[in-house]
Homo-oligomer: A and B are copies of this chain.
Amino acid sequence: MATISDVAALARVSVATVSRALNGKESVDPQLVARVRKAAAELGYHPNGLARSLRKRRTAVLALIISDVENPFFTAIARGVEDVALTAGYSVVLCNSDEKLDKESRYLDVAVEERVAGVVISPTGESTSVEVLRRRGTPVVAVDRPLDDVDQVLVNTRLAAQEATAHLVAAGYRRIACVTGPPGIRTADDRLAGYRDALAAAGMAADPGLVRRAEYRAEGAERATAELLRTAGVVDGLLVANSAQAVGSLEALRTAGRRLGTDVGVVAFDDAPWATLIDPPLTVVAQPAYELGAVAARLLLDRIEGDAHQVTVRTLDARLIERGSSRRN
């Protein structure tokens, strides 16, 4: 484990010169630079980032805390963040909070302790607190879900849900149900709200029995949907709040022998790769996940580089992609 002074000794210069040479600083004799480079290579020298960051009082690492690594929506966000961070010279470390508050707060502590330059987070819930970051002045950007007093990049998911539901109404479905995520998760609440907006606008009664909440996972949605079909009377339409849930809901519909589109019109959030593989293909609300991440990273870098602006909230639009699952036949 060679250090800077080993390099200095081998190159017969001072550590200061090594530091300057290796960091491409100002005026160093090119001949010395060469000697230093050679010595460094010979020793397999890699600067100690810990020491460097300690001294400079800043790191070039961003933390991205997402609520579910196994959800393609969040991994797409991750790629967006990564791409802009990397080109700006920052590394990204990804942390998976798994929708669990304790894991999330542990990672927030780690972020503080490792003194990351900034944090992009999709908060697990309403009680998510980034106080620990705020106290230290670590810049934060919330993505996908809101968070008080910090920059945010969101999707206009309520409008999207409203449009999706209106689309089902226009297609002739009348008893439209909604399977959404747990209460307290803003995207889940918003999608439900949009659904209700659309029903109200269409002058249709909002039957509470047609609404189910489940974890953002296939299993929960499958149970919820099965139960819905058993107990809610006639159901001929369904809005599902994410693609993991869609897997479960579609299983349940099939088990119940209900044909997609013909018997039950379905729209789901997230344009999963398999959406066009099923028969009929699934109508979806496509969210701009990659952009979400890219915009969030950009905002964060602005903050880090001291561009002290006001708290900004950026809202991106989702897009309805009509396919066979929301057509009567």
Which residues of A pack against B, CB within 8 Å? 1, 44, 46-54, 59, 61, 69-70, 72, 75-76, 78-79, 82, 86, 91-96, 103, 106-107, 109-110, 112-115, 132, 135-137, 218, 244, 247, 250-251, 254, 272-274, 276-279
Contact = CB atoms under 8 A, between A and B. Distances in A.
Nearest to A135: B44
Contacts of A272: 274
Contact of A132 (B44, B47, B107): B44
B279 A279 contact: yes
Contact of A278 (B49, B82, B279): B279
B72 A70 contact: yes
Contact of A46 (B109, B218, B276): B109
Contact of A69 (B50, B78, B254): B78
Nearest to A273: B247
Contacts of A96: 78-79, 82, 94
13 contacts: A48-B54, A49-B113, A69-B78, A70-B75, A72-B72, A75-B75, A79-B96, A91-B107, A247-B277, A274-B274, A274-B277, A274-B278, A277-B277
Contacts of A86: 103, 106
A221 to B, nearest CB: 11
A114 B273 contact: no
Nearest to A53: B50
Contacts of A79: 69-70, 96
Contacts of A46: 109, 112-113, 132, 136
B137 A1 contact: yes
Copies of this chain, complex-wide, total: 2
A61 B86 CA distance: 21
Given A251-B276, A276-B251, A278-B277, A136 B95 contact: no
A290 B91 CA distance: 26
A52 B110 CA distance: 13
Nearest to A44: B135
Contacts of A109: 46
A79 to B, nearest CB: 7
A50 B111 CA distance: 11
Contacts of A278: 274, 277-279
Nearest to A94: B94
Given A44-B136, A70-B79, 9 more contacts: A44-B132, A44-B135, A46-B136, A50-B53, A72-B72, A91-B95, A92-B95, A254-B277, A278-B279
